[in-house]
Chain A
Amino acid sequence: MSAAARVVGVDVGGTFTDLFLFDAASRTFRTAKVPSNRGDEAVGFLNGLRQLGAVADLGSVVHGTTVGTNALLERKGAKVGLITTRGFRDVIEMRRRDRLRTWGLWGDFVPVVDRDFRLEVEERTLADGTIRQPVDPAAVRDAVRQLLAQGAEALAIVFINAYANPANEEAALAAAREAWPGDTISCSSQILPEIREFERSSTTALNAYLQPVVGSYLGKLDAALQGEGFAGRFHIVQSNGGVMSTESARRLPVRTALSGPAAGVIAAAAIATEAGFPDVVTGDLGGTSFDVSLVVGGETALAAQTTIDFGLVIRTPMIEITTIGAGGGSIARVDAGGLLQVGPESAGSRPGPVCYAQGNTRPTLTDANVVLGRINAERPIGGGLARLDVEAARAAILEHVGRPLGLDAMAAAEAILRVANGHMASAIRLVSIERGHDPARFAAVPFGGGGALHAGALIREVGLKAALLPRFPGINSALGCVIADIRHDQVRTVNLSLEGIDAPALDRLMVSEAAAVRAVVADAGLPVERIDTVFALDMHYAGQTHTVSVPLPVEARDGTTGVTAAVIREAFETAYQASFSRLLDGVPARIVNLRTAAIGRRPRFDLSTLAPEPGATLEGARRGTRPVWFGDAWHETAILSRLDLPVGAVVPGPAILEQPDATTVVDPGLAARVDRLGNMIIESAAFRDGSAA
């Protein structure tokens, strides 16, 4: 059947919706870009799909969504009612007793569940799992009715120590279902059976907060797809970079918080690995921020939790994305102490940089790039503006940066660029060198609107091996949707001492957890080549509160994992030594959590599908020259149309490579070459000549 072979990735961003269709039967792809429809994203979604042909002919649709992210950031989730243990209704408001910033005491916090929507019931479980007081189902039903009467649209149930024994929560959930209409109930022991009541409460409450929003969005899309005769599978990308079914997404919407960015990282990892760069740092340069992720051996790094905004904590494995406040819109200024600062204050995309001529008069990083000739002022990317106002940008840079520092406009623009490059380099150092990796092994994979402008500086400042620019950086996230594996993660707090551990009991738990996560992946219904199960333990020395993640080199097979105390100890000591220089002999080790993940490996996507057509020539790609400022002088610089370059073409710097959704700068001393997949590899010209010889 040919329909099953047609899969579409859809990435709905703030401005544009990008689509990538891959037809496995004919090994061809198509892309589409349509305006997003903020508020009713389903409209743009369907418009985009129709551009790619009959929706009924599609086998599956995989979606990276920011609906959940936006609802969190804009505080547009549901009215949530919370039922919790007597004495603890304020846990989500009290947080971990932190404050907004280290220095400065102003600012306030409003939790996502109002205090009068948080009701307490008598019940108590102790830390060892003993039920000290059973829950009264009638009291839970009363609380549910009261919350309904107050207008609650979603329900969360969080009891203290439910990670140790979920019996009271499960009894409360059963009682709540009798009184609550629909399925928008989030129960903490099902969302996150992990110790730490604030993180579990926050994650559970945010899940409830998103359930109606994400549920109705997916419902609308489902209905629209069916209306078009679509009979295939519809899936969502999770924050962990894996795909899940829409049923799972409705149950666990909190796991979609970083859906869009995660898909982008997945695509970058796949492309780079295929191109021979399994170790990369991805960098997405947007208007206000630079988002960095680490990929080692082709695998993305996962973080255990993230903070969406002050006090809004989500604890669920997600692709580790480190964000710094340096983007194209970052404002440059000289502070009262005479230091040049770029960001974190940003002009965003509205009013945007000075050169957009939309009312901002303070210079930004983009203004510096325009003044230096690195961005083509006559043909701005993105399509919104006819041309950029170079003169206004130059005047702003001179006034706000040049005069205070005693520099002319060009030197000031170069200074802004260097400081911003320094910030980006720091972010890359943070995720690479500071995690014990040698940057000389890594390549940068910039994507997003402006990343490729700074690739050369990142190579130089961090000592990276190269930069790799995917052929279609603008559709990276949509491509990631098509490539991403299916994944389900589960955590369980076990609190075991390694000394005298009952390994067979842990083995039984691992086998049952593995079966549960594999079932979720199998039920997703997408074709997979195989399902891998991976185990990791969160461990520490008894007395420590932080843990290290300890990957276990075992698999569940024939009803056992074969795990032993010796296997665990060796894995722990290896992981501990990698993080810290000193092992602590004689101090007993403990296992806090068991983490189990099932990964359904999708059939390999052949990236050579994206390669340039034969017949192109280097000369055919030339678009003349223009002056561009490098270091301290203008250089007449070759301009080339990037997508018209043939495989194997080599472009020595200085050069500018233009394409509709990105501009790539090849600095003097560097050279760019087109690999067999159509990627652009930028590396030291000397190195390239040496390797070619």
Chain B
Amino acid sequence: MTPDPVTPDPVTLAILKGRLEGIADEMDATLFRSAFNPIIAEAKDACHGLYHAETGETLVQGTSGLPIFVGAMAFAVKAVIDKVARDSDLRPGDTFLFNDPYEGGTHLNDFRLVRPIYRQGALFCWMASVGHWLDVGGNVPGGYNPKATESYQEGFRIPPVRLIRDGVMNRDLVDILAANSRVPTSNWGDLNGQLNALDLGERRLAALIDEHGEALVQGAFDAFSARAEALMRASIAGLPDGTYAFEDVLDNDGITDETLTIALDLTIRGEEMVLDFSRSSPAAQGPVSISRATTIAGCYVALKHVFTEVPANAGCLRPIRFVVPDGTLLGAGAPHPMAGYTETVLRLVGVIFGALAKADPARATAAPFGTINALSMAGHRADGSRWVMFSFFGGGLGGNPESDGLNHANNPISTATIPPVEILEAAYPVMFTQWALRPDSAGIGAHRGGLGAVYEIEALVPASVSLLGERGKVAPFGVGGGGPAACNRFSWETAEGRQFPPMVSKITDIRLEAGRRVRLETPGGGGWGDPAARDPAAAARDRRLGYVTGAAE
């Protein structure tokens, strides 16, 4: 049996915190370096951590994991805990694998590996790895099918199952995975990368526990949670009591061109917070609904961007109550399609920023660009081989009390870097004709938003193109008198001229002829504060650098 936890002294606690976070960081780095697909290797769409033996709650996260996964992983581990409770056959040497979004959050592309860590014959904690695999079948290469109405059209779904028993990998399962993807080698490489990370993490943790003992490490886990809770309570207590309402919309669900509302009533009472999403739209037919797990993870991301000192573990969620009715856009279940979960989470993050801006205008952040623009281009090369280019694109961050928004940044739920043009052109038969900042795309303000971007890509061979984006109808908002940014805009060339998607920012299977181009113009961030209060020198610089042209769109 694991001995009772012993609370470390403050110094040992600080040291253990650094060591344990270091283990998670090292797991992240191992996967980034050995992964096959650029969404993990370059975009860092992965996360690792340590989780509570009984509840699955987050104990320790690294500093480099994808923010949205940081919040979602606890649900994934809980799904495995429920599974082994049903089967009651957990053993050392097991590793579980799954991608079920209803149990673990996010979407089918995110494969989770969950491994029990035993000490002295008892379950000590869990370790988990999540990474975004390039293709999991479904109607659209890469999985972002804007027309999906059931998850079966998005790809295959694996519930928590045992990939490894007694340290031996189940090859039958590997063969099933391989047979269901367009890019089995890439997935195989990523799976091995995740196993590399778990192997390494397990070794490092064992060495640490050998050094300090089970009781002390367990005591440190408890203390981390208590500290996170104390910090979150202190942060909430710094906001004035009251209820702050804010809402924003998604363009549509890709099936019906009607906006969907994400509405929040944020209540502060002392050192506790309620996030009530009851007024939000019902679950959608198309792939933009999210599970409750993803919603909570998204709230966590937003709060962590505002209260940056609060550490990434379960304790920080204790003072917060979530009201997310089942069957709503934010509390959907099977078989609602969820490939576009990012768009809904990004709007959710913005809505929390909007409500907090009302509670504390001095710390307000305007809306970031708010869409990932998942663009896939695919076809066959001259030699007959199949290619799939898949990437997410950037935009501007919101103006804020400290500065203008950052130009061409990644999304708040991610730390992804964008693959270089030269890497993409070396790998796929495409040629970029523009990769530039988008003038006039940022909201005006005392501190303006960051600029979005223009990407223009020519197909060198015939290509099939799909896009899952957002922010085509209602632009990222400003705060404190700052203006909104520009809307997202996508178009492509045909013999008949330039075309725009009927669903504004979502389209499937455009047939692009060789030599024709697609063009994506992304939103900037919203502005912060009264535009009339902008420093005249900064305004003059905006014009000199061509950030602001004064030309009507």
Give the interface of A toward B (CB within 8 A).
87-91, 93-109, 114-116, 124, 126-127, 132, 160-161, 163-164, 195-199, 335-341, 405, 415, 418-419, 422-423, 425-426, 429-430, 434, 495, 541, 543-546, 548, 579-582, 584, 587
Taking A106-B401, A543-B189, A545-B423 as contacts, is the C-beta distance between A87 and B456 under 8 angstroms? yes
Q: Top 8 closest A-B pairs, CB basis?
A: A337-B227, A422-B15, A97-B394, A96-B417, A87-B434, A97-B418, A127-B425, A108-B403
Query: What per-residue 1/0 map shows which CB atoms of B182-202 lie under 8 Å from chain A?
Result: 000110110011011001100
Determine the residue in chain B with the shortest Cβ distance to A342: B14
CB-CB under 8 A from A548, the residues of chain B are 33
Complex formed: what's the CA distance from A638 to B510 in Å? 81
Question: Is the CB of B305 closer than 8 A to any CB of chain A?
Answer: yes
Q: Which residues of A contact B189 (CB under 8 A)?
A: 541, 543-544, 584, 587
| B421: interface (CB < 8 Å) | yes
**Chain A minimum-CB-distance residue to B434:** A87
B33 touches A546 (CB 8 A): yes
Interchain nearest-CB distance for B442 vs A (Å): 12
Given contacts A116-B545, A336-B231, A337-B234, 17 further A-B contacts (CB under 8 A): A87-B456, A88-B434, A90-B437, A98-B415, A99-B397, A105-B397, A108-B406, A109-B406, A115-B547, A196-B422, A426-B19, A548-B33, A579-B34, A580-B34, A580-B192, A580-B196, A584-B192
A419's closest neighbor in chain B, by CB? B14
Are B231 and A335 within 8 A (Cβ)?
A: yes
Complex CA distance for A97 and B372, rounded to whole angstroms: 12
| Bound: A127/B432 CA distance, A | 11
Cβ of B404 under 8 Å from chain A: yes
The residue on B at minimum CB distance from A91 is B435
Interface centre among A97, A114, A429, A543 (most CB of B within 10 A): A97
Is B36 an interface position by the 8 A CB rule? yes
26 A-B interface contacts by CB (under 8 A): A90-B408, A93-B407, A96-B418, A96-B420, A97-B394, A98-B417, A99-B397, A102-B64, A105-B400, A107-B406, A108-B406, A108-B450, A114-B545, A115-B546, A124-B431, A126-B431, A196-B420, A198-B420, A336-B235, A337-B309, A426-B19, A541-B36, A545-B41, A545-B419, A581-B195, A584-B192
CB distance from A644 to the nearest CB of B (A): 36
- Considering only CB atoms, which chain B residue lies closest to A100 in the complex? B406
The CB with the most chain B CB atoms within 10 A, among A107, A127, A546, A579, is that of: A127
Q: Which B residues contact A (CB, under 8 angstroms)?
A: 10-11, 13-15, 17-19, 22, 26, 30, 32-38, 41-42, 63-64, 67, 185-186, 188-189, 192-193, 195-196, 199-200, 227-228, 230-231, 234-235, 304-305, 308-311, 365, 368, 393-394, 397-398, 400-410, 412, 415-423, 425-426, 431-437, 450, 453, 456, 544-547
Q: Could you tell me the distance between the alpha carbons of A101 and B63 in the complex, rounded to whole angstroms? A: 10
A102–B312 Cα distance when bound, in Å, is 12
User: Most A CB atoms within 10 A — which of B11, B410, B416, B432?
Assistant: B11
Q: Smallest Cβ distance from B552 to chain A, in angstroms? A: 21
Query: How far, in angstroms, from A583 to B341 measured CA to CA in the complex?
Result: 34
Known pairs A94-B453, A336-B234; A105 contacts B398 (CB<8 A): yes
Docked pose: A541 CA to B34 CA in angstroms: 9
Q: In the complex the two chains form, what is the Cα distance from A220 to B134 in whole Å?
A: 56
Decide: A87 and B412 in contact? CB cutoff 8 A: no
Q: Give the nearest-CB partner of B32 in chain A.
A: A546
CA distance A545 to B417 in the complex (A): 13
Contact A426 to B436, CB < 8 A, known contacts A103-B67, A161-B425, A197-B422: no
Residue pair A160, B35 in contact (C-beta under 8 Å) = no
**A565 and B218 alpha carbons, distance in the complex (Å):** 51
Using Cβ atoms and an 8 Å threshold, which residues of chain B touch A584? 188-189, 192
Give the distance to chain B from A407, nearest Cβ to Cβ, in Å.
8
Contact status B227-A544, CB under 8 Å? no
In the complex, are the beta carbons of B22 and A429 less than 8 A apart? yes
User: Most B CB atoms within 10 A — which of A126, A580, A582?
Assistant: A580
Cα separation A525 to B420 with both chains bound (whole Å): 40
Q: Which of A108, A163, A164 has the most CB of B within 10 A?
A: A108
- A338 and B186 contact, Cβ closer than 8 Å, known pairs A94-B435, A580-B34: no
> Which residues of the partner chain B approach A543 to less than 8 Å between Cβ atoms?
36-37, 185-186, 189
State the CA gap A582–B193 with chains docked (Å). 8
Is there contact, CB below 8 Å, between A127 and B422? yes
Query: Contact: A426 with B18, CB < 8 Å?
Result: yes
Q: State the CA gap A338–B233 with chains docked (Å).
A: 13
Once the chains bind, are A546 and B10 in contact (CB under 8 Å)? no
Residues in B neighbouring A91, C-beta threshold 8 A: 421, 435
B409 CB to closest chain A CB (Å) equals 5
Which chain A positions have C-beta within 8 A of B19? 426
